[in-house]
Amino acid sequence: MICPMRKAIEKRKGSSLYLTILLCSLVTMGTLLLFLALTLTPRISSLLEQNAIDRTKDTVRQGTSSVEVYVNNMLATLNYLSGLSPATAEADGGRYQIQLDMVEKSQQDVKNIAFFAEDGALLSATGAGLAVPTAEVAAAEWFEKALSWKGTVTYFSSPHVQHLFTDRHDWVVTLSRAVDYEDAGQVKTGVLLVDYTFPAIASLASGIQLGASGYAYIIDAQDAIISHPKQHLIYAGIAGEEMQAAIAQVVGTTRDVMDGRERILIVHPIGQTRWRMVGVAYIDEMLALQSAFIRIFFIVLLCGGLLSLAGASLTAYYVTRPIYHLQEKMRAVEEGDLNTKITERGFQEIRMVSRTFNHMLQRIRDLMHQIVVEQEAKRLHELNALQAQINPHFLYNTLDSIIWIEEQGRSEEAIEMVSALARLFRISISKGRNIITVREELEHVRNYLIIQKMRFKDRFTHEIIADEAALAHRTVKLILQPLVENAIHHAIDPYGERTLHIQIRAWVEEEYLLLSVRDDGMGIPPDILSTILTSPAGKSGIGLRNVHERIRLTCGERYGLTVDSVADEGTLITIRLPAGMEEPA
């Protein structure tokens, strides 16, 4: 299955490499950042939230522990006092009273210590006397409860203003316990009362800070507020406290909403009492760190995205710049500037492409030069061939022969000679064509032979044998006449004792068009034969080499002349051409 992105890119067919690199980099980085955001954010947020809640719980627990320590100290004092032997001053000479005074003085937080008889009568007390009737004491809850529990349980009051004693109105927490004492030989039960200053406890609770707005308060067993940082305002009706969730929770953690803000309530019992510490923390403050983290995290992600964009943009630019440079140079080449050279720079792959392109350009330049040279050579050879046709000696001799014949009154022969000469030159020019038919080439050599026959009369004979099929094929022009000329000039017997026979053939064999010129003359000496196709033109004109070169230039290396010669037997020159050669456009 093809990736949809790849399909989209392929569909465009030619999208910018710069944009592709940029988009791929951005998609990769964006995917990574998104993955980080989606995986890390919830996890870390959850951890931070839980951490904040745990720290809040610990704070409340520590605050509760502080109160518990204080309460334990209070109980320890009460236990110590309970272990003493209560007695009136008359009974023990004031010893018990002294002990009570010592304890009160030694403990700053103890406000009152008193021992009451079963009926509420004050038996011993630190400080002032009783300010209320005995009946009122006996009816007080702290008294009744302590008696009913018979010393097994300590009564723990809520904070209140103690007004039992004359000129004393202290905020206290009252501890009371039934204690047995001996009076006139009888064991009786009385109630020991110890008042502890409440502000000390209140300050422990008010000192608990749970965030900027959070606080802690204490409620008693009846769910009434004992201590609250906003107690004044609550009683003034200016502030309020939603306690339902905390009361319902009893112990543990719960949440509620007050004044539109979500709160977490941590309810913790205070040991030895039936009080409960309620810690109130505001969720939005607790999670401020979480919010800050998320904010910073997303800012970091955003910055990462921006930096990725910058990096991707620069990377795409630096990757594509050498390619654009390459593109510009190629455009210059396309517009004809083959001398352009591409600077090899950039990535290794681009350098390789640049190097290869430079090599290609060099090769093109070399090939073009070679073509120019070959064309020039061809043109030169053609020029030479043409030049041979208008060789002054040949023309002079021919014209001279025409004059001589005409002077002899052989007008018809003169006309034939002039006609042959005209036809010779016409075919030589061939309207500038380089390729002519075999029929025309044979016609050309035939006219040449007519002229030469008139000059050399019976010193040579000739025959032209051409396959009908070969006549229509094409050949490079002016290739037979030079061979025949060579045969006439070099093979003919200078003494006239033998008649040279020249045979010209044309036939098709397989994929070749073959032309041959055979003579039965003296042959070519071996030393000349070996270099006959490479030596420059002889005194007769362009020479075999010219013909050979022209054929090879036009048709290819595997075509051309082959020369076979046996001394005193003759020479055979075979011309190999491709069959079915077309007229060049």
Q: Whole-number minimum distance, CB 511 to another protein, in Å?
A: 60
- Burial letters 523-544, b for 16+ CB under 10 A, else e: bbeeeebeebbeeeeeebbbbb
541 close to 393: Cβ distance less than 8 angstroms: no
The one segment of 23-31, 49-57, 301-309, 510-518 that binds another protein by CB under 8 A: 301-309
Kindly state whether residue 232 participates in binding another protein, applying the rule CB under 8 A: yes
Estimate the crossing angle of helix 392-407 against helix 411-429, to 10 degrees. Answer: 160
Minimal distance, residue 306 CB to another protein, in Å: 4
310 counts as binding another protein under rule CB under 8 A: yes
Strand partners, 116: 122, 191
What lies within 8 Å, CB to CB, of 138 at 6+ separation is: 119, 120, 144
The alpha carbon of residue 347 and the mean position of all alpha carbons in its chain are separated, in whole angstroms, by 17
Contact call for residue 128 and another protein (CB under 8 A): no
Of residues 105 and 169, the one with the C-beta less far from another protein: 169
CB of 317 to another protein, least distance (A): 4
Question: Does 120 engage in binding with another protein (CB under 8 A)?
Answer: no
Task: Give min distance, CB of 201 to another protein, in A.
Answer: 11
Q: Are 486 and 544 in contact (CB under 8 A)?
A: yes
Shortest reach from residue 169's CB to another protein, in Å: 6
Site residue total, another protein (CB under 8 A): 37
Amino acid at 51: N
Answer for which of 2, 3, 187, 236 binds another protein (CB under 8 A) is 236
Of 160 and 426, nearer to another protein (C-beta) is 160
* Among 305-313, 437-445, 489-497, 498-506, the segment contacting another protein (CB under 8 A): 305-313
Identify residue 168 by its one-letter amino acid code: R
Considering just the CA atoms, what is the radius of gyration of the chain in Å?
Answer: 66
Pick the binder of another protein from 19, 34, 128, 224 (CB under 8 A).
Answer: 224
Spatial CA neighbour of 349 closest among 329, 319, 315: 319
Question: Judged by CB under 8 A, which stretch of 73-81, 116-124, 300-308, 342-350 contacts another protein?
Answer: 300-308
Alpha helices by DSSP H, listed for 237-273, are 244-249
202 vs 524, which CB is nearer to another protein? 202
Residue whose CB is less far from another protein, 316 or 385: 316
- Indicate the residue among 105 and 295 with the shorter CB distance to another protein: 295
Q: At what angle do helices 348-389 and 543-555 cross, to 10 degrees?
A: 140
For position 306 contacting another protein by CB under 8 A, the verdict is: yes
Strands (E), 85-234: 110-116, 122-125, 155-156, 160-162, 170-183, 186-197, 215-219, 225-227
DSSP 550-573: HHHHHH-TT-EEEEEEETTTEEEE
Among 202, 281, 417, 480, binds another protein (CB under 8 A): 202
Q: How far is the CB of 83 from another protein (least distance, A)?
A: 32
Q: Which is nearer to another protein, 231 or 254 (CB)?
A: 231
- Other C-beta atoms within 10 Å of 546: how many? 23
Cα separation of 30 and 297, whole Å? 15
Q: What tokens does 494 get?
A: 């200078």
Q: Would you count residue 34 as binding another protein (CB under 8 A)? A: no
Closer to another protein at the Cβ: 163 or 489? 163
Binding to another protein (CB under 8 A) within 381-410 occurs at none
Region of 4-12, 312-320, 373-381, 545-553 interacting with another protein (CB under 8 A): 312-320
Q: What dihedral angle (degrees, nearest 10) is formed by the CA atoms of 508, 514, 515, 516? A: -120
Q: Tell me how far the alpha carbon of residue 164 is from its chain's centroid.
A: 85
Q: Does 296 bind another protein (CB under 8 A)?
A: yes
**Residue 275 or 460 with smaller CB distance to another protein:** 275
Q: Which is nearer to another protein, 163 or 255 (by Cβ)?
A: 163
Residues 6+ apart with CB under 8 A from 560: 533, 548, 549, 551, 552, 575, 576
Which one of 47, 299, 338, 395 is in contact with another protein (CB under 8 A)?
A: 299
8 Å CB contact between 527 and 519: no
Token pair, residue 51, equals: 């951490």
Close Cβ partners of 97 (under 8 Å, ≥ 6 residues apart): 89, 124
The verdict on 360 binding another protein (CB under 8 A) reads no
Which position among 69, 98, 302, 567 is part of the footprint of another protein (CB under 8 A)? Answer: 302
Under the binding rule (CB under 8 A), the answer on residue 229 touching another protein is yes
* Contact with another protein (CB under 8 A) among 7, 95, 150, 163: 163
Q: Is 274 in the site for another protein (CB under 8 A)?
A: no
> Which of 1, 184, 187, 212 is close enough to bind another protein by CB under 8 A?
212
Residue 233 within binding range of another protein, rule CB under 8 A = yes
Q: Which residue type is seen at 514? A: L
Which residues contribute to the site for another protein (CB under 8 A)?
160-161, 163, 169, 171, 198-199, 202-203, 212-213, 224-225, 229, 231-233, 235-238, 295-296, 299-300, 302-303, 306-307, 309-311, 313-314, 316-317, 321
